[in-house]
Structure 1
Amino acid sequence: MYDFAIIGGGIVGLSTAMALGSRYPDARILVLEKESQWAFHQTGNNSGVIHSGIYYKPGSFKAKFCRDGSRSMVEFCQKHDIEHDICGKVIVATESQELSRLENLYQRGLDNGIAVQRISSEEVKEIEPHVSCVGGIRVFSTGIVNYKQVCLKYAEIIQKQGGDLRLNTKVLQISPSGKNQVLETNQGSFETRFVINCAGLHSDRMAKLGKANPQAKIVPFRGEYYELTPEKRYLVKTLIYPVPNPDFPFLGVHFTRMIDNSVHAGPNAVLSLKREGYKKTDFDLRDFAEVITYPGFWKLAAKHADEGIQEIIRSFSKAAFVRSLQKLIPEVQTADLVPTHAGVRAQALMSNGSLVDDFLIIQGDNSIHVCNAPSPAATSSLEIGKAIVNQIPQESPLLETAVKN
C-alpha cells in the first residue's frame, strides 16, 4: 500500500515526488513511468532553456512559477553541481512595425518582476554581432541546462528519501478500492491512497481513467529543429529570439545555444499525427482520429490558418525554414544547417478552439491531475511540484496517515 502514486516520470512527476518526500518524509511514495528511462518525452527533448517568464500573463501560474522557478532551478543546479549557464538572451525586432510589440513585451517583463533592458540595434550587435535588427530587449536571467541531468538528480533524491521508482511500468486502468485506488499496470497492481497524474502527452486520457474531467484535450505539436554545423556556431553567442506574434501560440523560430555548446535553430511547429510522433512519418490512428474529430482543433486551425500554412511549408521546405532564420541572422545559409531531434509539445486545447495558455491542475477524488504543463514546465518544475503538494486537501485523513507512517 502506497500513500501517494505519481503517474509519469518526466520532470513534473519527479519534482512532485521529491516535494512529497520532503513534506511527508514517512509517506510511501511510488513513481510509475512507462518508458525505460526518466525524462523520455517532453523533458528529454526540449531546448534546455531556463526561461525567465517574460512572455506570460502577469498573475498567471506560468508567470509566477517560471519567475520563481528560474531562481530555484539555478539554486538547485548550484547545490548539486549540475552544469548550467545563465547566459541571458536577446529578443529582437527585425522590422519597425514590431517595435510596439517589443515595447509591450518589455513592459510585461517589468510587470512580471524580471530584469529586462531595452537595447538599441547597435547594443544588440555588441552581444550578438551577427544579428540584424532595429531594436531589442536583453533578458538577463535566461539560462541553459540539460534537464535530463536535472531529472536524474531528482530521481536520486527521491530514492534517498525512500521513494519507490518503477520504470517500464505502464498504467492501464485506475480502479476504486474502498477509499483507495488501484493502478493496474503491465507490471501488476499497485494500491494507493492518492494519485497524482503527471502523464504529460497522455494526461487527459489518464484523468479520464481516474474518473476526472480534464476540461481539455491534449493536441500534440511537433517542434522541428535544425542545428548549426560546428564551424558556424560562432554566429550565435547566447540565445536569440524574435518578437512573438501575440495572436499565435508559438514563439517563432529562434537560435538556442545548448549546454553542450551546439546551437539549435527552430522550432517549426506542426501538428503531430501521433502523440509521441518525433518523425514526420510517425502515425497513430487513435491519436490522429481524436484530433481530427475534435471540434476545438478545427476552430483553432481556422483561426490560425495563415500561420499554420507557413509552419507546414517550413516543415517540408528547408529553404523556407532558412529564410525565416535569415531574418535574424542574414549570414545563415542552407549548408550551415543539419537536421536534429524534434520534440513534441503536449498542448491542451478547449472544445471552443482556444489553447489553454496556463498550467492546468485539476482536483479529482483523492487525486490531482496535471492536464496542461508544456513549456515553461521544466523551468518551473520545482515550483509546480510544491504547488501540487500544497493542493492536497489538508483535512484529508490521508495526510494524517502519511505523517504517522
Structure 2
Amino acid sequence: MQEPLIQQACDWLEGQQQAMVDCLAALVNIDSNSYDKAGNDEVADLITQWLEQDGITVIRHQRPDSGDILEAQLGEAGQGHALLMGHRDTVFPTGTVAGRGYSQKENLGFGPGVADMKSGLVMNCFVLRALSRLPNCPLPVRALFTADEEIGSPDGRPFIEAAAEGARAVLNVEPGRVSGNVVTGRKGGAGFLINVTGKAAHSGVSHADGASAIETLARKIIKLHALTDYEAGITTNVGTVTGGVSRNTVAPSASAQLDVRFVTTAQRDQLYLAIEAIIAEPDIPGTLATIEQTSEFFPLEERMSSALFALYQSQAKAIGFAVDGEFTGGCSDAGWTASLGVPTLCGLGPVGAKMHTDEEYCLLDTLVPRTQALTATLLNLQHISADPR
C-alpha cells in the first residue's frame, strides 16, 4: 500500500483549486478545433511549459498536418507503466473563443471544450505535477496529449497504441458523467460514405432508359436501418443524403453518410459483413454502389474496466466521494487501448455536461477531488492484472 505517498500527493493537490481553474481558463481561451493545427499546438505549448517547470520530461512529436503529439514521462519508460490520456482538440470552429471565451458563474465554468476535455488536460497535468513532488513513484507514468480525437484519431491512434504497449493500465480523462459517474463501457462506432452511380434520363420522355441512383440508395438505406438492434446495442443511421441533378431527371448519382454503433468487437465484425453484403446487392439494374469507411472507434468493453474501476471506486471513497460506473453510447480513444488487452477506464475527468454545445459546462469543485482519486489510483496500480481478457 502507498498511503504515505497518497497522503502527500493529496495534501499538495488540496491547495491547487484556484491554480487548476486558472489553467483551465487559459486552455479554454485557445481555439483548438481538430483541424486547427496552430491552435492545438498553442495548447501544447502551455502544457509543455507547465510540466517542464516541474522538471517533467515532455517529448513533442512534430506532425505536419495535425496538432503535434505530446508525451510526458515520469520515471523510466518500460513494462508496467501507467498511461494517462487526453485530447486537446474540440469540435468548436476557430473563432469561437472571440465571441464566447471562458466564463465562470459560481461553481460552473463555461466555454468551448471546458468539459470535453480541457478540464481533463488540466487534471492530467496536476496528476503529473503531484507525482513529481513525491520522493519516489512506485511505477513509471506516461501521459499522452493528442489532437484529433473528435474526428476519430486518424493521426493519434498509432501514438496511442504505441504508448499503451506494455502498460499496466490506461486512464482516460474524458469528462465525468453529469451523474458524477465514470465510464466503464463505451460503444464502438464507425462512419461510412456510400456512393451510388446510375444512368441519367429524362423522367417524362425516356424514364425507362434511366437507372436511378437515388432509388438504389433508398432501398439500401431501408436495409441498413433494419440492422439496428436496440436490445443488442447496435444502431445504424444514415444521417445525410444527397443526389440527383434536377426534379425531372432520373438521378445518375447519389451519396449518403452512414453512422454505426456497436458494443463488442464481435458485433463490429458481423455488422461490417452485413453492410458489405447490402452494398453489394444489385437492387436497380444499371446502378453500382460503393462504400468507403471514413472513421472508426473500437468499443470499451466493460470486462476491460471492471478491476480498474473497483480500485478507482475504493480510492474515491477514501478521498470522500461516491462514484459508480456507467455505460455510454459515445466513443473515445479508450476503445483503442482496451482492444489491445490493456485494462482501461474512461470518464475520469472533472464532471461536466452539455458537451459539444454552447451551454457546455464543468463543475469546478470536482477538479481537485477527481484529481486526487486518479492520483491515488495510480499509486495503487500494483493490484491490477496486466491482462484481464
Q: TM-score, normalised by structure 2?
A: 0.27
Instruction: Please say which structure displays the higher CA radius of gyration.
Output: 2
Q: TM-score, normalised by structure 1?
A: 0.26
